[in-house]
Amino acid sequence: MSATGIGAAVRRKEDQRFITGTGNYTSDISRPGEVRAYFVRSPHAHATIKKVDTKAAEKMPGVVAVLTGADLAGDKIGGLICGWAVSSKDGSPMKAGAHPAIAVDKVRCVGDQVALVLAETLGQARDAAEKVKVEYGVLPSVVDPAKTQASGAPQIHDVAPNNTIYDWHLGDKAATDAAFASAKHVTKLDIVNNRLVPNAMEPRAAIAEYDQGNDSLTLWNTSQNPHVARLVISAFIGMAPEHKLRVIAPDVGGGFGSKIFIYPEEVVALWACAAREAAGEMGLGPFGGLSHRCAWPRSRHACGACDRRQP
Amino acid sequence: MATVNITVNGKSHSVDVSPETLLVELIREKLRLTGTHVGCDTSQCGACVVHVDSAAVKSCTMLAVSADGAKVTTIEGLASGAGLHPMQAAFREHHGLQCGFCTPGMIMSAVDMVNRKGNELDERTIREELEGNICRCTGYHNIVKAVGAGARAMKGGGKTARAAE
Ligand code: FES
Ligand code: FES
């Protein structure tokens, strides 16, 4: 065993900063003039959104803006995509329902984003979020995966009858049937996949910044693959052309796959920056005269709630 | 607004905070010492552990105003001088970390453990004492090894590492 070759211990370069508290995780980043974002989330698993009244919240101290799904849709920001399309056995494409980054007329899980509050401090944003009045029409829900396809189960997405997105088959059915038919003994069992909860120690976070000089956006986020994030947020969600969008993943506090996905909060943080910029140029009320940076700090609750939306 | 007079890593500060501000928010956002992490803010994960008047405290669970007059040590102030504290060195030596997010809290809890329980810590004690610190990357095995080795390495000089307080 040589001192430097095969068999020698290799010291990790990143350990020095991690053990001295000088790492640089997304929530550690602070940009001049940033405002803080807090999401109003659905307490219902399934409900129509009848009305979102933001007036009282807008008057709360420190509040910069309160944005809703209607604002997002008005700016033609696309919904989140599923990165892996699966066709049914008959060849028909999968029936993925729309997934707007802020819900528009319906919420489909507890924790679905309904509105965004931007304020000078996180405490102010949180206080103001309590003043956002959302009128829901609560619909029946189904929380047991085994019951989602039962007749009469509430349908979550209009495009997916029976709550079936795809019916996927793999392999040679005839040969498999023949093998079972000639088997001496056949055991039947139901295999239930447990729910996966990656639950990294670092909750998700995002900070977005608009650079007036270059007319470009930068997103720092807790990402395992910033390149794909940039592609998706640009080409599919339509936030900005790829050369006008930079995605930076600083130190990441664990991901276990959960930080591969593109999440609504990241999209909304970018959009909120851009929206504030646009409104500032037009001289609109609360946006004018402020710099355009939007930070959505970690929230374990939000993390858990959003994990439910993973494909 | 309330004024909090607080000594952090040997440096005194007078900070204006709103009454609901948590100690961890004061440390991270007002003093910009971001080595102390927030993994849950509900007192479960231990990523936010600091020493307040020589005792390990989850700083997400203490109001900043309650720390008025206190002496606080964070991960940034653990080592005296430019080198590493023996517990920090042990974590690196024994590969007691991967993503590093839990690490500052782990190290602060470990040093507190040695201060209370001495330098000879058996595996069972270490595992029990780390009940309030969650790590999702390592599986704990190397953290336990690191704490045991760090505890022994602190012999004789451990408490002086807290001179900053
Ligand atoms: S952040 Fe304090 S215990 Fe998790
Ligand atoms: S090293 Fe990643 S959570 Fe402990």
| Residue A297: predicted pLDDT | 58
Q: What is the pLDDT of residue A139?
A: 97
- For the entire predicted model, the pTM comes to 0.89
Identify the pLDDT of residue A296.
63
- From B45, B48, B91, B97, the mutation candidate for ligand 2 (largest count of ligand atoms within 8 A of CB) is B97
Task: Give the closest ligand to the alpha carbon of residue A23.
Answer: 2
Choosing among 3.30.300.30, 3.30.1330.60, 2.40.50.140, 3.10.20.30, the CATH entry for B2-77 is 3.10.20.30
Using an 8 Å Cβ cutoff, are B22 and B32 in contact? Answer: no
* Sequence ranges of chain B with CATH classification 3.10.20.30: 2-77
For chain A, the C-alpha Rg in angstroms (whole number) is 23
What confidence score (pLDDT) does residue B53 get? Answer: 98
Q: Of all residues in chain B, what percent carry a pLDDT higher than 90?
A: 90
Q: Which two tokens stand for residue B134?
A: 């969650």
Q: Which CATH superfamily groups domain B86-153?
A: [2Fe-2S]-binding domain (1.10.150.120)
Among the ranges given (A232-241, A276-285, B32-41, B138-147), the one the predictor scored with the smallest mean pLDDT: A276-285
Give the residue carrying structure tokens 């946006």. A287
Query: Which residues of B are less than 8 Å from A201 in CB distance?
Result: 37, 39, 45, 47, 99, 101-102, 134-137
Domain with CATH 1.10.150.120 in chain B: 86-153
Q: Is A243 on the interface with B (CB under 8 A)?
A: no
Stretches in chain A below the pLDDT threshold 70: 1-3, 276-311
CA dihedral sign of residues B13, B58, B165, B31: negative
- A220: CB partners within 8 A, 6+ apart: A26, A29, A206, A207, A208, A248, A249, A250
Average the pLDDT over B31-46 and give the result.
94
Amino acid occupying residue B160: T
Dist CA B32 CA B15 (whole Å): 12
Strand pairing of A35-41 and A113-119?
antiparallel
Is the per-residue pLDDT at B89 higher than 90? yes
Q: Quick check: A21 and B135 CB within 8 A? A: no
Interface predicted TM-score (ipTM) = 0.94
Put simply, the answer to whether A298 touches B38 (Cβ < 8 Å) is: yes
CB proximity A1 to B under 8 Å: no
In a domain, A263, yes or no: yes
- Range of A38's domain? 25-292
Query: What is the per-residue pLDDT for A231?
Result: 96
